[in-house]
Copies of this chain bind each other. A is one copy, B any other.
């Protein structure tokens, strides 16, 4: 009898994998042909190989589905690239699952990627959560923050259902920025500040973070102009120098404004980097960037009443413990940042009926 019981249990745990592209994929500001690619680089050209690689990341994308399976597994394929030394592989190329409980998205588990170089390290598989109580689970699965995702299959118990879940997030909010927005030093894909702002407030946010490459380029402005959006939040001043800010800011805003004449454009000052603490060259460079950013925005605000500026003085707290490397906010840094920006951004958005 014991042998039979074990056989029955094994049988009941058989896994069936479903192509996740058949479920609800959220987070693309403009539809793309590939399932898990945030920007279609055949439609939008950026004249920069690294930007085009980043455009194909699954940054900010998530899959929504519901299932009554007692476990959730995944098989997925990314690039074979290793994580950078200032980020976790889970954030770079892993999965991050939340299940809805009393209306809140509660962390349920991660999909752990393999790490190490070589083609075989592009294929990942694992159990994200198991031994769940019976019943329907509504699932929000964030995709790799800092890698492309070539395929994703969700594994559930044979005989259980799995079905697309309606996107519960309202209003279309673009978050455009640097590696800070990209979420580089978040611990998990769902911990970028853009993902947390969306999840915490029920907003539909698009993560357009481009690590080190977000320099007020015309090509980005043209892409943003094409997005059907209710509001734009910008971390626009982390990557460009003071000189580039002065040269490019007006053109960048002009292009977006022409397409979105009365949408709120909310510009955050770039954080005060911890790499300034003792490096006098960096201190000067960053101070000039911040001065240039504030000057350009304040000038523009004189004639554009839908432009907003959010100072960054408290983005990283005051204990010098909020970055992984002097530049990139960790989950702690993003917590400080959200404590600072959320009330200010929410107040602005309410003026536009976004609440």
Instruction: Identify the A interface with B (CB < 8 A).
Output: 82-90, 94, 99, 106-110, 112-117, 129-133, 137, 185, 187-188, 191, 196, 274-275, 277-282, 320-326, 330-332, 335
Contacts and interface: CB of A to CB of B under 8 A. Distances in A.
Contacts of A280: 131-133
Contact of A112 (B113, B325, B332): B325
Given A88-B185, A187-B323, A321-B331, 13 more contacts: A83-B115, A85-B90, A85-B113, A86-B112, A88-B324, A107-B326, A108-B278, A117-B117, A129-B278, A131-B280, A131-B281, A137-B278, A330-B332
Q: What's the number of copies of this chain in the assembled complex? A: 2
B116 A191 contact: no
A279 B191 contact: no
A250 to B, nearest CB: 32
Contact of A88 (B85, B129, B275, B335): B85
14 contacts: A82-B115, A86-B90, A86-B112, A88-B185, A106-B277, A107-B274, A107-B320, A108-B277, A109-B326, A117-B117, A132-B278, A137-B278, A321-B335, A331-B332
Contacts of A196: 321
A106 B320 contact: yes
B94 A89 contact: no
A206 to B, nearest CB: 21
Contact of A131 (B82, B83, B279, B330): B279
Contacts of A330: 187, 330-332
Nearest to A87: B88
